[in-house]
Amino acid sequence: VATPARFSFRRTIYSHGWYALPPFTVDHQTRTLRRIFELPGGRPAVVEMHDRNGSGITASCPSGATAAERNVLIRGIRACLRLDEEFSEFHAAALSHHEYRWIPRTGSGRLLRSATVFEDVVKMLCTTNCSWSLTEVMIGNLCTKLGVPVDGYGCTFPTAEAIAATSEKFLRKEIRAGYRAPYLLAFARAVAGGSVRPESWRSATVPTAELYDELRSIKGVGPYAAGNVLKLLGHYDYLAIDSWCRKRFSEIHRNGRKVSDRAIEKWYEPFGRWRGLFFWLDLTRDWYKRKIPF
């Protein structure tokens, strides 16, 4: 799979927490990103991705896959790794700020996303108002209890139809979604029924504010979740500030003093339509020095 200039496999994988949620897994020893995709018809396919030292990605797919199926998987890989998104303007903006020249130099900026917008929204809902460990529990349960199993590898992410066919009680008690259960069920049923079409949002040419309003109309999706889903759709106008971001900004820019959201927003205003991405990369810069395994 060919990759564009200023692309870093490692920086993309570890850009945020999605790599740790199924159906993604990372083998840190072999530096492999693995994901279970779903082929047309519902058949699962395990794909393993390796970096080729800057000359593309090697992706292995199941033996017996047809040419058409391989093309589906390559499109899926390109979508997850954001290989077709244009970042030259963003990198040029970063070069114009002395303290952000490391961004294009390290190939940063691409945020890992799921194969579908539906999956990204469900995952984002499961990050709200809880610890990361609970998010892992909820997503793990969704996959193992509603996805399609693959021997030795885990399960696919469940379809909207699979979640829609459950009940609030099941999502509350078996998935451990708690009060999010009615939100997940309503969203899955709206997608399965066709009244909400999240996959159309990736190619939408409507203004970001309209997409934001559409996301906010989903019950359970507030400013934080909507702003973050927008970033995964390629729109970086919203910061999506949560408690961790507030704390991190305060440590980096205010010597640990309390700071208002308005002050944080003002700080990143000069970065225009890329401010959400500058914001996130600024706060997570030190991850690559001490937090990630390779």
Partner DNA sequence: GCGTCCAGGTCTACC
Partner DNA sequence: GGTAGACCTGGACGC
Contacting residues toward DNA, per CB under 7 A = 128-131, 133-134, 137, 172-173, 176, 178-179, 216, 218-226, 242-244, 247
| Pairwise CA distance, residues 103 & 85, whole Å | 16
Q: Which is nearer to DNA, 12 or 15 (CB)?
A: 15
In the complex, the smallest distance separating the C-beta of residue 80 from DNA, rounded to whole angstroms, is: 23
* Helix/strand number for the chain, H first, E second: 15, 6
* Residue 77 identity (one-letter amino acid): I
249: three-class secondary structure by DSSP: helix
Please identify, using beta-carbon distances, which residue of 97 and 173 lies nearer to DNA: 173
Least CB distance from residue 263 to DNA, whole Å? 15
Pick between residue 59 and residue 221 the one whose CB is nearest to DNA.
Answer: 221
Find out whether 141 and 123 touch, Cβ atoms under 8 Å: no
Of residues 249, 251, 234, 254, the one with CA closest to residue 280? 249
- Residue 282, token pair as written in the block: 């600024």
- Nearest distance, CB of residue 174 and DNA, angstroms: 10
The least CB distance from residue 109 to DNA, in Å, is 23
Whole-angstrom distance, CA of residue 181 vs CA of residue 151: 29
When the beta carbons of 86 and 251 are compared against DNA, the nearer one is 251
